[in-house]
Amino acid sequence: MNAEKTRVVVLGSTGSIGVNTLDVVDRHPERFEVFALTASTSVDAMLAQCARHKPAFAVMASETHGKQLQDSCKAEGLSTTVLWGDEAIEMVARHELADTVMAAIVGAAGLAPCLAAAQSGKRLLLANKEALVVGGQLFMDTVALGGARLLPIDSEHSAVFQSLPQDPKDWAARIDKIILTASGGPFRTRDPMTLHQVTPEEACAHPNWVMGRKISVDSATMMNKALEVIEAKFLFGVAPEQIQVIIHPQSVIHSMVQYVDNSVVAQLGTPDMRGPIAYGLSWPERVTSGATALDFSTMAGLSFETFDSEDHKKRYPGLDLAWQVLRAPAGSTAVLNAANEVAVAAFLTRRIRFDHIHQINTETLNVITPETPASLQDLLALDQLSRRAAETAISRLSA
């Protein structure tokens, strides 16, 4: 390890965010080096990453996959120390030699290592929506107490962050509202009466972005935008009523901030996650990302749509759940996240229909009234309780 370089931990290195992070790191070998990588089950992909980046640690989620990787690394003569399990993932996230942690583990499973990195005062690049959605104020308090530097990597929140003054103390007095843009997903013009026929393959075919299956389905239902509304509330300290969502099919404007004088500052770019990743890694400086530059001469125009039309209300009923849970007891955001993870998994395995996802989410919110979570254990218990309630709702549908 070179003390003059920024040592990077990538949680979820074999997913799309992780792969793009390593691509940006590769472009700046004089500035960054990989300290640790973690993955769930993709042993072959992790082995290739270990061979290329030579991290000090590689961690798999399970013992089975960890031992497979360990044997493979030994056979290849790699010096990387291979570990496995939740404790090992948290260990590399808080390791004293690590400087920056890219949090790209999908789902509530990413919450514990995110908290570990926050407690240890790391630069925490947050691509995991669920850490904020599930952790809420508890997560933000941990960031503050640990002295961590939290930088958003979602393209929308990165765009907002880039459009704000550098000093957070200026935000409350200057911001009128935050405007999050949404592409509308693959079904923006589809007859909402046909959504019950949607297949997993159709839902995963996003028109602009290359993403994992779960987040692609969330984009199709607009639940990803609901989660982003929740994130924005905690990240930027605004009231839920100060957050607006508009459809912008071209995905050129990634989000905007409207100030109290009604001027609007927007961040534009091609739909390439390497842009916000590079900004998070290098902030407050900027480095090349590999993303293609915008060519304004080829743009026919930028268009916008509201969610007020009757068709959009039927097409994206889950979006309003964001404001609903933000007005509900603390912990309700965690309930929504857990229900949605279970429902999306059930849809991807063809246990339920596409339009049932919203039904499962609302039914779970109706039966779970959380108490304010005071610890990680409270959050994990609430997550499990909500998952069981969602599974019960799915069972009733399947009966």
Residue-by-residue pLDDT tens, the chain, 399 positions: 676 899 999 999 999 999 999 999 999 999 999 999 999 999 999 999 999 999 999 999 999 999 999 999 999 999 999 999 999 999 999 999 999 999 998 877 889 999 999 999 999 999 988 889 999 999 999 999 999 999 999 999 999 999 999 888 889 899 999 999 999 999 999 999 999 999 999 999 887 777 778 889 999 999 999 999 999 999 999 999 999 999 999 999 999 999 999 999 999 999 899 999 999 999 999 999 999 999 999 988 899 999 988 999 999 999 999 999 999 999 999 999 999 999 999 999 999 999 999 999 999 999 999 999 999 999 999 999 999 999 999 999 876
Q: How many CA atoms lie within 13 A of 91 on its CB side?
A: 14
Q: Which of 259, 256, 257, 286 is nearest to 274 (CA)?
A: 286
Q: Which of 155, 166, 185, 174 is nearest to 253 (CA)?
A: 155
Q: How far apart are CA 250 and CA 182, in angstroms?
A: 9
- Whether the Cβ atoms of residue 209 and residue 274 lie closer than 8 Å to each other: no
> Torsions phi, psi of 96, nearest 5?
-65, -25
Tell whether pTM > 0.85: yes
Q: Which of 30, 53, 34 is nearest to 92 (CA)?
A: 34
CB atoms within 10 A of CB 252: 17
* Amino acid symbol at 189: T
Under DSSP, the state recorded for 307 is: S
Two structure tokens written together for 393: 């709702």
Q: Give the distance from CA 111 to its chain's centroid.
A: 11
- Whether the Cβ atoms of residue 124 and residue 104 lie closer than 8 Å to each other: no
Between the alpha carbon of residue 22 and those of residues 37, 42, 280, 301, 374, the distances in Å are: 10, 16, 13, 33, 35
Q: Which residues of 307-316 are buried (b: 16+ CB within 10 A; e: fewer)?
A: beeeebeebb
